[in-house]
Amino acid sequence: MTLLGKLDWSAVPLDQPIIMGTVGGMVVAIVSILSWVTLKGYVPYLWREWITSVDHKRIGVMYIVLALVMLLRGFADGIMMRTQQAVAAGGAQGYLPPEHFDQIFSAHGTIMIFFVAMPLVIGLMNFAVPLQLGVRDVAFPTMNSISFWLTASGVLLTNVSLAVGEFAKTGWFAYPPLSELQFSPGVGVDYYLWSLQLSGIGTLLSGVNFVTTILKMRAPGMSYMRMPVFCWTALASNLLIVAAFPVLTALFAMLLLDRYLGFHFFTVDAGGNAMMYVNLFWVWGHPEVYILVLPAFGIFSEVAATFSGKSLFGYRSMVLATMTICVLSYTVWLHHFFTMGASASVNAFFGITSMIIGVPTGVKVFNWLFTMYGGRVRFTVPVLWTIGFMMSFVFGGLTGVLLALPAVDWQVHNSVFLVAHFHHVIIPGVLFGCMAGYNYWFPKAFGFRLDERWGKAAFWCWFIGFHLAFMPLYVTGLMGMPRRLQHYDVLAWQPWLLVAEVGALVILTGIICQIVQIVVSIRHREQLRDTTGDPWNGRTLEWSTASPPPAWNFAVLPRVHELDAFWAHKQRVLAKQRLPVRQHAYQPIEVPKNSPVGFATAFFAVVSGFALIWHIWWMAGFGVLGAAATLLAFMFRTKDEVEIPADQVDLFDRAHPVEVSL
Amino acid sequence: MTTETHWHVAPGDLPAIPASEQNASSGFLVYTIGLLLAVILTVTSFWVANTSVIWAPGVPAGLAVLAIAQMGVHLVFFLHITTGPDSTNNVLALAFGVLIVFLVLGGSLVIMANLNENMMPHTEMMNLQIER
């Protein structure tokens, strides 16, 4: 046994100029950011206010920053694949060797699902749900911090795989037997498994946290049918997380046992059954689709109602549709493997359920349309993302209904038609939703709005670029082009793939616009300042407090008497023509104490994850012990709250007057 | 909160009415009853597995009944699931969990059995290879 397990200098791909260039760039960027932060003396501030923070708003912002950074990485992978396919036609091999191309498509899928879409959605829920519920924090604030840092550990391990070793070459779902030791002896699959195990535990803890928060901690008077729709969708999404993620964790644990200890769960020989992996993967995988898209539906509901100046059309049907999807999402998973050996009767059952699940989604689309119908719609950036979503998502959903027919699936499975379909629901559905939410809640988080002009430019680039990039794939898919081709011989596909490449470049322009939007908004923050706490004439409780909200969210917990509580309150004030008298009987408020336990746990988790990937057993033991000791020390702490004195609350409220207080 | 509100407190739950009105030993009593029932059910299932008193093909059914009873004891005495209004969330969560487990386990069994049926029998596959 060597001290460093399988790790030696051959793990660093020094002969690959593309990888080493990227790694060099990343190292330079990280080192320069770290030294800038250190030289400016920001480290104590960052440590105190962000890294150890257990405030749900701060954690939410960190989730979103993490997701946006990883969006750049995932997009870089995407545009590399598009470029490769644009040039590697006929005899040409393009610029990416096959084993590198395989890692890129695996990393692209893994990163975009687990490290972009999930943190974006969880970040927005973290930021908005407690504010919308009118409470001061989530149920378990320190656990929330642990969740975030575990997700960040998964991200870190995935990025380390770029420089040290390799990533999985198995596709983002790592089907055995290909992902078994026999066919993937390298560390790629181990990087995939351990980083997803760590971030998966984080996600599960988040799910538990949010279910508890929403069920147990609402403002006085907020019954279930008075909850904002975003909270309902967050509840459904987190119920799905709690039920689905243990399946994924158990599944990966079984594959790890196969790879590390010679078990035979999914191997070809000794009674293993690879189809069980496929089955269980999609038991998690299909609910995962709804874990991502339901909160986005909630954001669209909030945006449509707020910017139309109307209450949401069909609130009850929206709630019912959300909860129906929550249950039905567990009845359709076989449609991910129609062609892998099930008989016609089983396929028919799952085909029909897959079509049925489109119905509640259709109900939602009509509700949004009727919300906007007859309303005075303000065409702000979030509304553009919402309308763009509705137009493309219906199309993408229809190709989904098409694919729900097993007979059609036999024709186009494993083709880029499928690739076009799922990008067509996940980009307009999840990503557009998160972008709408990002523009919508940004003034609440930072106290100033985002620049409209650059925001609109970003939207149009994304919208046009998306269609240019993925519509051609439907065509080449119907022409028979399989997914994940490093090169191909059919020259008839090439013009379409060149169009797709142009689309990817237009999306790149959109991403650049978004970066410019942030820079411009920060520079012009004084003109964009939100002094009222309610920049959009909002309807729900988060707009009734200052922007950005204080650590305690609400000086006095709001009393809720109806749906759209803040809007109704404003209407009453308008009717009376009199602002309510501000009450000054402030009470001292207890807020949870900051804790480094999340960061420390994640540090040890990264150490043990890295050690397990490289078979450095002593270091793995050290990491596990360290994490256990950290949690144990945390359990023995005696003081877990800090009291904010009443006069400090009073002082904050005087310094940050809101127009209409509850 | 009005005075006539009747709180259904699950056994062992934190009391919603002031502790002074509660029998201090009731929590302990509940756990003891639960433990005794759980032990009885466990011992009985060991006995059922080895006995010749019961008609042999009935043994699995007997074990299943005892296992389900065991789950019920755990839910009521240790996890404090009752029919009271305090417990609505817990009951709904339990129902959701049972439904998902049923869908996932039942679905997986049906799917895997079906895939197995469609697998070409091992001998035939061997013949194919020999023919080639």
Query: Which among B58, B82, B106 is the end of a domain?
Result: B82
Q: Which domain holds residue A207?
A: 42-595+640-655
- CA-atom Rg of chain B in angstroms: 24
Q: Is the pLDDT of residue B13 over 70?
A: no
Distance from CA of B37 to the nearest CA of A (A): 30
Chain B hits for A215, CB-CB cut-off 8 Å, are 89
CA angle A121, A126, A129 (to 5 degrees): 100
What are the backbone angles phi and psi of residue A97, rounded to the nearest 5°?
A: -65, 155
Q: What is the mean pLDDT of residues A338-358?
A: 92
Q: For residue A222, what is the enclosing H or E element? A: none
Say whether A283 and B96 touch across the interface (CB within 8 A): no
Q: Residues B58, B95: one domain?
A: no
Euclidean distance between CA atoms A548 and A530, whole angstroms: 9
CB-CB under 8 Å, A341 with B119: yes
Note the Cα A392 to chain centre separation in Å: 20
B39 and B69, same domain (yes or no): yes
Total Cβ atoms within 10 A of residue A285: 18
Express each pLDDT in A501-556 by its tens digit: 999 999 999 999 999 999 999 999 999 998 888 999 999 999 999 889 999 999 88
Any domain includes A36 = no
Count the domains in chain B: 2
pLDDT at A297 over 60: yes
* Domain annotation covers residue A240: yes
According to DSSP, residue A643 is labeled E
How high is the pLDDT of residue B124?
A: 63
Tens of pLDDT, residue by residue over A452-509, are 999 999 999 999 999 999 999 999 999 999 999 999 999 999 999 999 999 999 999 9
Q: Is residue A662 part of a domain?
A: no
Judge: A243–B107 Cβ closer than 8 Å, yes or no. Answer: no
Q: What residue spans of A524-616 are helical by DSSP H?
A: 525-528, 565-576, 597-613
| Cα(A289)–Cα(A267) distance, integer angstroms | 28
Mean pLDDT throughout B44-68?
89
Give CA angle at A144 (A141, A145), nearest 5°: 95
pLDDT at B76 (0 to 100): 87
Whether residue B48 sits in one domain with residue B1: yes
**Inter-residue contact B69 to B41 (CB < 8 Å):** yes
Instruction: Say if residue B53 is in the same domain as residue B15.
Output: yes
Lowest mean pLDDT, pick from A165-169, A258-262, B127-131: B127-131
Three-state helix/strand/coil letters over A5-46: CCCCHHHCCCCCHHHHHHHHHHHHHHHHHHHHHHHCCCHHHH
Do B66 and B109 share a domain, yes or no?
no
The Cα A5–Cα A11 span in angstroms is 12
Structure tokens of A617? 């057993």
B51: domain range?
Answer: 1-82
CB A261 within 8 A of CB A253: no
| The predicted structure's pLDDT at residue B21 | 46
Of B93, B103, B117, the CB nearest to A331: B103
Lowest mean pLDDT among A440-454, A485-499, B52-66: B52-66
Do B14 and B73 lie in a common domain? Answer: yes
Closest CA to A137 of A53, A48, A21, A72: A53
Query: Among A279, A280, A327, whose Cβ lies nearest the Cβ of B99?
Result: A327
The complex scores an ipTM of 0.85
At residue A641, does pLDDT exceed 50? Answer: yes
User: What is the Cα–Cα distance from A252 to A33, expressed in whole angstroms?
Assistant: 35
CA distance B18 to chain A (A): 21
Do B17 and B44 share a domain, yes or no?
yes
Task: Using pLDDT thresholds of 50, 70 and 90, give the confidence band for residue B89.
Answer: confident
- C-alpha pair distances (Å), B3 with each of A48, A61, B7, B11: 46, 44, 10, 21
- Asked if A270 contacts A100 with a C-beta cutoff of 8 angstroms, the reply is no
A330, pLDDT greater than 70: yes
Residues in CB range of A469: below 8 A, 6 or more apart: A82, A500, A502, A503, A504, A506, A507
More confident residue, A466 or A4: A466
Burial code (b: 16+ CB inside 10 Å, e: under 16) for B15-37 equals: eeeeeeeeeeeeeeebeeebeeb
Are B16 and B67 found together in one domain? yes
Q: How confident is the model at residue B2 (pLDDT cuts 50, 70, 90)?
A: very low
Confidence category of residue B1, pLDDT binned at 50, 70, 90:
very low
Q: Encode pLDDT of A110-160 as tens digits.
A: 999 999 999 999 999 999 999 999 999 999 999 999 999 999 999 999 999
What are A225-235's pLDDT values in tens digits? 999 999 999 99
Residues A195-254 pLDDT 10s: 999 999 999 999 999 999 998 889 999 999 999 999 999 999 999 999 999 999 999 999
Tell which of B87, B104, B110 to mutate to test the A interface (max A CBs under 10 Å). Answer: B104
Residue type, A313: F
Give yes or no: residues B74 and B28 share one domain. Answer: yes
In angstroms, the CA B121 to CA A355 distance is 34
pLDDT higher for A22 or A278?
A: A278
At A556, phi and psi to the nearest 5? -125, 130
Does residue B53 share a domain with residue B24? yes
Give tens-digit pLDDT for A604-636. Answer: 999 999 999 999 999 999 999 999 999 999 999
Q: Which has the closest alpha carbon to A267: A200, A350, A182, A345?
A: A182
Please give the mean pLDDT across all residues of chain A.
92
Look at residue A581 in the predicted model and tell me its pLDDT. 65
Angle, helices A98-110 vs A188-216, to 10°: value is 10
pLDDT-derived band at A42, boundaries 50, 70, 90? very high
Q: Which of A286, A321, A346, A265 is nearest to B106 (CA)?
A: A346
Q: Which residue among A215, A279, A327 places its CB closest to the CB of B111? A: A279
- In the predicted model, is pLDDT for residue B131 greater than 70? no
Q: What is the CA angle A321-A326-A332, rounded to 5?
A: 105
Q: A215–B112: do the CB atoms touch at under 8 Å?
A: no
Domain containing A335 — which CATH number? 1.20.210.10
Are B115 and A247 in contact (CB < 8 Å)? Answer: no
B20 with B42, same domain: the answer is yes
A360-408 per-position pLDDT tens digit: 999 999 999 999 998 999 999 999 999 999 999 999 999 999 999 999 9
The pLDDT of residue B129: 58
State the smallest CA–CA distance between residue B95 and chain A in angstroms.
12
Q: What pLDDT score was predicted for residue B120? A: 67
Q: What is the pLDDT of residue B5?
A: 39
**A1 pLDDT above the threshold of 80:** no
3-state secondary structure A354-403: HHHCHHHHHHHHHHHHHHHCCCCCCCCHHHHHHHHHHHHHHHHHHHHHHH
**Whole-number pLDDT of residue B20:** 47
Please count the structural domains in chain A. 1
Q: Based on the domain organization, do B55 and B5 belong to the same domain? A: yes
Interface test with A, best of B13, B14, B94, B100 (most A CBs within 10 A): B100
pLDDT tens digits, residue range A305-323? 999 999 999 999 999 999 9
Question: Which of A283, A340, A341 has the CB atom closest to B104's CB atom?
Answer: A283
